């Protein structure tokens, strides 16, 4: 019986203890929380905090699992297991809690015994958390609660927790709030036990945060909001962290009923976190031990954690973490670019919100947002401008508010007829809002009202004395007296009756004024006027400030824009000198430089230049701008320079003399006239329509190109050209007015093109008269140049129009020859080719594909090469195959195809008797894949040159099959795909291609204009390609270096290579190296 009573007493104790507010739901299951005394609602940062504050879920970036074991009273214990899974948007966790209250043994009266589980409880919860922004987090947990007492009484229910968390971006400060166990309660048969619904508020602050040491302070308060009889529980904790490896914790919690001190530590080894808490329970004289093991899946490195935050959209947290990286940290150098990128993204966010506030005229909020943006993108000029404008708008708004307040007060003073106060307030309004017309109107009215009032009883002002009694110009002095007006503008202070002084401050018996600039030095009369009248004048002494200045002009010189020390017409220059004040002398006030021109000519200059004050020992540099007009003569001009000082201590004057030069006029002449009467059906830019014979005929449309050259010593200025005709039957087909020529410098030329037509039935004169008008910006240099074209006259060659001018005294301008020297053919004594020789001359200038640039001088080159083949080399004219702008079909017709090499050239040749000479000028291009070289016919698309070009390999292959005595090939083209006017192949770089056949035959000689990826250059001054020009000059005899009247291939090679390479470097800064393969000793021509 005694044992049975003992059992029931123990049973009653446990049951009461467990029923008290469902005790198992209030137990601290986080080991870290327990060791901090329960101060954890604001500290939470991992899975251990989910049951306390579910808002932590989206703060965690790596998956975590944890296991907790807690020994409780006697043989009771708690077990907890939890899993946390972070997501891109939010975080999810599942936890399971088991409480085992231990066993009891019941002894029955009949001697039997039985063991029972005193209490078993299970809580399963699922929680989800999100962030509202990067500092505010929110979470909610839904849990199922099951409880069984002494294996007989069972109860279950659902409950939920709510949590909120504020954590600063730098993790310095955290505030947490949670509401837990919101539910209906547990019903054991007929008894309902309420769930402990707790409101918890926590605070955490990082007292110290370094890499090797950090200290965290936390405080919480907790209250059961359903049971008003419970006390508030206050908790405090301190955690020290060493190298992120070891943690030491101490906590203290207190209420009106109990106090408890707790201790704990933690270890972090390879992402395994072991935590231990020691909790003495003084009320039952027992110690509780609590142990947990957690694992975090992921790297704890700063860069990796920052990357996780960035992916979750928390860019500012990522930014702050990356800024903490040091050069020795993993990912440091990658992070620097990441920091800049994230900073700009964050800044854009704040700029956007700042603009929204800006548009709502919420200047203060806009300023805050722009300042945040600038913190992340410090060099962004646009953000700085937004911030400045917002600040200005805020300042203006503040001014308006203050002005509004002054306005009200001024109105009240006006109503009270307190005119002095009203004037003062109206002036303050105007200082803030200078354009306030109402305030200006009211100020004027107040002054008038005061004036009327003052006239009635105002006293005459009087001057008693000055302080000081002597002062220099510009010095502030006091006028002591009586009956002055307190409004500064109502006092008029006059020096020598005429010169007003500025009143800085006014009081009834005192005026503060500045001595004005007056010419007099010594005693002057000073008086004051107010509404009450005019004071009796009193003497004041104006003195120089200490010693007088000693000014002098030094280093006087003249500079002009071109540096020749001559001021030419339309040129600008400067007169530069120093103004020095001797050391030990007095200060120079209001110093001004004065310049006076000695002659009345077309020269302008700054007559006065303000220098300002010059201190003793100071030197100031003065620049006087001077310019010559268009009508200035050639003469010597003198300019007198002096320096004036306000107190009269001027410098000694100086004179500078330099030369002026009259304008050098341009002399414009038409140097060449060329025509084109060929029909181009595929080119919209070519308006000529004719038979292409170079003869102007009725019914044709003819393109004319005039070459205008400046043979004078001066340039034209912004010149425009226009063409007019004196024939009524001439119709212009192209633009003939406002043709821009720009500034034509001496020796330069411009090409002017226009197109005209005459009717099929034409009865007018054969000579068509035209005029070229050149309008110069300076009208005096505008000219009209007459010229004429003759119907029926062949313009096959270039026509040179010679106009005689007056000789100049100066060195004449070098005028380009435009290659006319090539028109003179040498006299040949002996030809070295047979009478059966065959020539092929090919020139491609114009291409049908719009993206292929034309070869400017190709047709000029081939027409002249044809003449040299006939008259110098000795090829019969009837044996010349001449092709202009040939198609792919023309190439196949002449040189054959892959299947049939017997083209037109093959049939022109007599076996072993004919010499072949081939010349080609035009584009060459490579096949990008094979890098094989191709001729580019006029109908070729360069991107598909393999399909519609003509292979250089096939060209040489077919030539090798022709039974000729010798073959000479001259190719003026590059095969890299580049040209003078850009790439032929779209979006490709020049390729290195060797334009020489791999199957070279013994009797073949090959000249090429360039090597590898080089460009074949033009020679604009000569109107030919650079290579062809010197090749023809070589045939003229210029290459005959030993003067033996015989020209060999070696001499041609040396001459062409030397001149072409040099001029390509000089004119274009690039390499062009002509190549030759063949018999260098072969003689090609002998001269007389």
Among the three residues 237, 265, 298, which one is the final residue of a domain in this structure?
Answer: 298
Mean pLDDT lowest among 23-37, 461-475, 745-759, 997-1011: 997-1011
56 DSSP 8-state letter: G
pLDDT for res 10: 43
pLDDT for res 888: 93
Claim to verify: residue 115 and residue 204 sit in the same structural domain: yes
> Which class for 984: exposed (0-12), middle (13-18), buried (19 or more C-beta within 10 A)?
buried
Helices (H), 565-676: none
Per residue in 479-511, pLDDT (tens digit) is: 999 989 888 888 889 998 888 899 999 998 999
Domain-located, residue 99 = yes
Claim to verify: residue 447 and residue 491 sit in the same structural domain: no
pLDDT for res 993: 46
Write out the H or E segment, with its range, that includes residue 657.
strand 654-661
Domain harbouring 276, CATH code: 2.40.160.60
Q: Is the pLDDT of residue 986 over 60?
A: no
Claim to verify: residue 608 and residue 622 sit in the same structural domain: yes
pLDDT for res 3: 46
Q: Is the pLDDT of residue 647 over 70?
A: no
Q: Is the pLDDT of residue 454 over 80?
A: no
Q: What CA–CA distance (Å, rounded) separates 916 from 110?
A: 139
Write out the H or E segment, with its range, that includes residue 35.
helix 31-35
Claim to verify: residue 119 and residue 242 sit in the same structural domain: yes
Give me 1082's structure tokens. Answer: 């072969």
573 versus 943: the higher-pLDDT residue is 573
Are 696 and 702 in contact by the 8 Å Cβ rule? The answer is yes
Domain-located, residue 323 = yes
What's the rounded mean pLDDT across residues 629-658? 85
Claim to verify: residue 753 and residue 647 sit in the same structural domain: no
What is this structure's pTM? 0.44
Per residue in 413-437, pLDDT (tens digit) is: 888 888 888 888 888 888 888 888 8
**How confident is the prediction for the chain on average, in pLDDT?**
85
pLDDT for res 946: 87
Q: Is the pLDDT of residue 411 over 80?
A: yes
What's the rounded mean pLDDT across residues 673-691? 85
Q: What is the DSSP string of 1022-1067?
A: TTEEHHHHHHHHIIIIIT-TT-SSEEEHHHHHHHHHHHHHHHHHHH
231 versus 771: the higher-pLDDT residue is 771
What three-state secondary structure class fits 464? Answer: strand
Q: What CA–CA distance (Å, rounded) separates 306 from 296?
A: 16
pLDDT for res 5: 37
Which positions ≥6 away from 531 have C-beta within 8 Å?
Answer: 450, 451, 454, 455, 458, 485, 490
Q: What CA–CA distance (Å, rounded) separates 515 from 513?
A: 7
pLDDT for res 725: 93
**Does the N-terminal peptide bond of residue 548 adopt cis geometry, omega within 30 degrees of 0?**
no
pLDDT for res 801: 35
Q: First vs last Cα of the chain: how many Å apart? A: 157
Q: What CA–CA distance (Å, rounded) separates 40 from 48?
A: 10
What's the rounded mean pLDDT across residues 141-157? 88
Between strands 654-661 and 566-568, the pairing is parallel
Claim to verify: residue 252 and residue 316 sit in the same structural domain: no
Per residue in 780-815, pLDDT (tens digit) is: 899 999 999 998 877 644 333 332 333 334 445 555
In the chain, the number of structural domains is: 7
Claim to verify: residue 342 and residue 418 sit in the same structural domain: no
Claim to verify: residue 249 and residue 105 sit in the same structural domain: yes
Domain-located, residue 396 = no
Claim to verify: residue 865 and residue 780 sit in the same structural domain: no
Claim to verify: residue 138 and residue 160 sit in the same structural domain: yes
Claim to verify: residue 736 and residue 678 sit in the same structural domain: yes
522 versus 887: the higher-pLDDT residue is 887
Claim to verify: residue 880 and residue 1024 sit in the same structural domain: yes
What three-state secondary structure class fits 352? Answer: helix
What's the rounded mean pLDDT across residues 978-992? 45
Helices 1049-1068, 1026-1033: axis angle to 10 degrees equals 140
Q: Is the pLDDT of residue 558 over 60?
A: yes
Domain-located, residue 442 = yes
Percent of the chain with pLDDT over 70: 91
Per residue in 160-207, pLDDT (tens digit) is: 999 999 999 989 999 999 999 998 888 887 788 888 899 999 999 999
Domain-located, residue 824 = no
> What's the CA angle centered on 874, arms 869 and 877, to 5 degrees?
65
Domain harbouring 505, CATH code: 2.60.40.10
Domain-located, residue 388 = no
Using the structure block, give the residue that is written with the tokens 């005026």: 511
Q: Is the pLDDT of residue 641 over 90?
A: yes
Among the three residues 265, 298, 331, which one is the final residue of a domain in this structure?
Answer: 298
Among the three residues 508, 542, 576, which one is the final residue of a domain in this structure?
Answer: 542
507: which strand partners?
510
Are 558 and 573 in contact by the 8 Å Cβ rule? The answer is yes
Give me 860's structure tokens. Answer: 């000029």
What's the rounded mean pLDDT across residues 374-386? 87
Closest by CA position to 727, among listed 787, 767, 687: 767
- Please write down the HEC assignment for all residues of 799-840: EECCCCCCCCCCCCCCCCCCCHHHHCCCCEEEECCCCCCEEE
Domain-located, residue 386 = no
The number of CA neighbours under 13 Å toward the Cβ of 687 is 15
Domain-located, residue 390 = no
Write out the H or E segment, with its range, that includes residue 188.
strand 186-188
Q: Is the pLDDT of residue 1019 over 50?
A: yes
Write out the H or E segment, with its range, that includes residue 1007.
strand 1004-1008
Domain harbouring 1044, CATH code: 3.40.50.1460
Confidence of residue 285 (pLDDT cuts 50, 70, 90): low
Q: What CA–CA distance (Å, rounded) separates 274 from 555?
A: 85
Range(s) of the domain holding residue 985? 829-1087
550 DSSP 8-state letter: -
């Amino acid at each position: 019986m005694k044992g049975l009573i003992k059992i029931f007493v123990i049973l009653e104790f446990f049951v009461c203890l467990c029923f008290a507010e469902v005790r198992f739901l209030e137990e601290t299951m986080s080991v870290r929380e327990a060791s901090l005394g329960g101060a954890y609602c604001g500290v939470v940062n991992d899975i251990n905090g989910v049951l306390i504050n579910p808002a932590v879920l989206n703060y965690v970036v790596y998956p975590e699992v944890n296991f907790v074991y807690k020994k409780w009273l006697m043989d009771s214990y708690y077990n907890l297991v939890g899993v946390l899974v972070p997501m891109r948007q939010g975080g999810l966790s599942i936890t399971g809690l088991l409480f085992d209250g231990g066993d009891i043994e019941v002894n029955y009266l009949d001697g039997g015994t039985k063991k029972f589980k005193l209490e078993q409880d299970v809580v399963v919860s699922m929680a989800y958390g999100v962030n509202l922004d990067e500092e505010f987090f929110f979470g909610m947990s839904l849990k199922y609660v099951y409880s069984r007492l002494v294996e007989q009484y069972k109860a279950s229910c659902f409950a939920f927790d709510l949590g909120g968390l504020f954590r600063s971006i730098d993790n310095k400060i955290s505030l947490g709030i949670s509401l837990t166990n919101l539910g209906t309660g547990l019903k054991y048969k007929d008894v309902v036990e309420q769930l402990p619904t707790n409101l918890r508020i926590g605070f955490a602050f990082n007292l110290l945060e370094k890499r090797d040491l950090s200290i965290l302070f936390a405080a919480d308060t907790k209250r059961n909001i359903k049971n008003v009889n419970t006390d508030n529980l206050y908790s405090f904790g301190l955690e020290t962290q060493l190298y992120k490896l070891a943690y030491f914790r101490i906590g203290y919690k207190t209420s009106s009923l109990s106090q408890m001190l707790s201790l704990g530590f933690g270890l972090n080894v390879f992402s395994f976190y072991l935590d231990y808490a020691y909790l003495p329970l003084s009320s039952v004289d027992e110690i509780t031990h609590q142990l947990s093991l957690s694992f975090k899946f992921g790297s704890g490195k700063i860069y990796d954690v920052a990357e996780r935050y960035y992916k979750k959209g928390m860019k500012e947290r990522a930014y702050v973490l990356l800024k903490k990286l040091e050069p020795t940290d993993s990912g440091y150098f990658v992070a620097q670019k990441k920091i800049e990128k994230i900073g700009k993204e964050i800044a854009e966010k704040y700029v956007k919100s700042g603009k929204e506030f800006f548009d709502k005229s919420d200047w203060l909020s806009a300023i805050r947002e722009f300042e945040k943006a600038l913190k992340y993108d410090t060099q962004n000029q646009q953000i700085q401008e937004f911030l400045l404008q917002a600040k200005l708008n805020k300042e203006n708004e503040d001014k308006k508010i203050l002005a509004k307040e002054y306005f009200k007060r001024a109105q009240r003073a006006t109503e009270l007829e307190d005119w002095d106060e009203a004037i003062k307030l109206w002036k303050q309004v105007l200082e803030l809002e200078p354009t306030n017309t109402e305030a200006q109107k009211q100020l004027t009215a107040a002054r008038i009202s005061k004036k009327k009032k003052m006239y009635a009883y105002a006293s005459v002002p009087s001057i008693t004395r000055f302080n000081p009694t002597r002062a220099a110009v510009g010095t502030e002095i006091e006028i002591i007296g009586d009956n002055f007006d307190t409004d500064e503008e109502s006092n008029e202070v006059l020096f020598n009756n005429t010169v007003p002084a500025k009143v800085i401050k006014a009081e009834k018996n005192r005026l503060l004024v500045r001595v004005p600039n007056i010419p007099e030095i010594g005693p002057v009369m000073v008086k004051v006027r107010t509404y009450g009248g005019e004071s009796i004048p009193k003497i004041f002494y104006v003195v120089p400030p200490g010693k007088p200045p000693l000014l002098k002009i030094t280093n006087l010189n003249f500079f002009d824009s071109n540096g020749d020390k001559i001021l030419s017409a339309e040129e600008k220059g400067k007169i530069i000198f120093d103004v020095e004040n001797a050391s030990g002398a007095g200060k120079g006030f209001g110093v001004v430089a004065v310049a006076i021109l000695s002659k009345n000519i077309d020269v302008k200059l700054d007559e006065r230049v303000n220098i300002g004050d010059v201190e003793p020992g100071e030197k100031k540099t003065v620049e006087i701008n001077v310019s010559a007009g268009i009508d200035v003569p050639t003469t010597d001009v003198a300019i007198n320079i002096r320096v004036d000082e306000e107190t009269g201590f001027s410098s000694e004057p100086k004179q500078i003399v330099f030369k002026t030069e009259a304008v050098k006029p341009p002399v414009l002449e038409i140097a060449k006239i060329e025509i084109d009467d060929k029909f181009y059906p595929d080119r919209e830019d070519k308006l000529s329509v004719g038979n292409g014979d170079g003869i102007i005929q009725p019914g044709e449309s003819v393109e004319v190109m005039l070459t205008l050259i400046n043979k004078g010593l001066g340039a034209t200025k912004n010149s425009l050209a226009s063409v007019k005709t004196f024939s009524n039957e001439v119709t212009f087909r192209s633009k003939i007015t406002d043709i821009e020529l720009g500034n034509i410098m001496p020796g330069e030329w411009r090409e002017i093109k226009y197109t005209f037509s005459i009717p099929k039935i034409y009865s007018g004169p054969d000579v068509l008269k035209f005029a070229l008008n050149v309008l110069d910006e300076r009208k005096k240099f505008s000219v009209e140049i007459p010229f004429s074209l003759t119907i029926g006259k062949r313009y096959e060659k270039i026509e040179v129009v010679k106009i005689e001018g007056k000789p100049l005294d100066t060195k004449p301008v070098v005028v380009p020859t435009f290659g006319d020297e090539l028109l003179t053919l040498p006299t040949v004594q002996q030809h070295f080719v047979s009478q059966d020789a065959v020539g092929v001359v090919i020139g491609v200038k114009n291409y049908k594909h719009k993206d292929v640039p034309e070869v400017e001088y190709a047709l000029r080159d081939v027409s002249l090469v044809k003449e040299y083949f006939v008259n110098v080399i000795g090829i019969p004219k009837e044996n010349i195959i001449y092709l202009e702008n040939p198609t792919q079909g023309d190439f196949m017709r002449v040189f054959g195809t892959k299947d049939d090499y017997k083209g037109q050239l093959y049939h022109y040749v007599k076996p072993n008797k004919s010499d072949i000479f081939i010349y080609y000028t035009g584009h060459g291009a490579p096949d990008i894949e094979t890098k094989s070289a191709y001729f580019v016919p006029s109908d070729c698309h360069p991107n598909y040159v393999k399909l519609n070009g003509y292979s250089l390999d096939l060209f040489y292959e077919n030539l090798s099959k022709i039974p000729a005595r010798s073959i000479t090939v001259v190719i003026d083209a590059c095969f890299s795909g580049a040209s003078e006017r850009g790439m032929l192949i779209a979006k490709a770089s020049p390729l290195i291609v060797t334009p020489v056949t791999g199957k070279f035959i013994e009797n073949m000689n090959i000249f090429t204009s360039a090597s590898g990826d080089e460009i074949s250059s033009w020679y604009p001054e000569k109107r030919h390609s650079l290579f062809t020009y010197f090749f023809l000059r070589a045939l003229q005899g210029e290459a005959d270096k030993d003067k033996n009247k015989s020209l060999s291939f070696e001499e041609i090679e040396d001459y062409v290579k030397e001149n072409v390479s040099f001029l390509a470097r000089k004119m274009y800064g690039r390499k062009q190296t002509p190549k030759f393969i063949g018999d260098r000793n072969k003689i090609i021509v002998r001269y007389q």
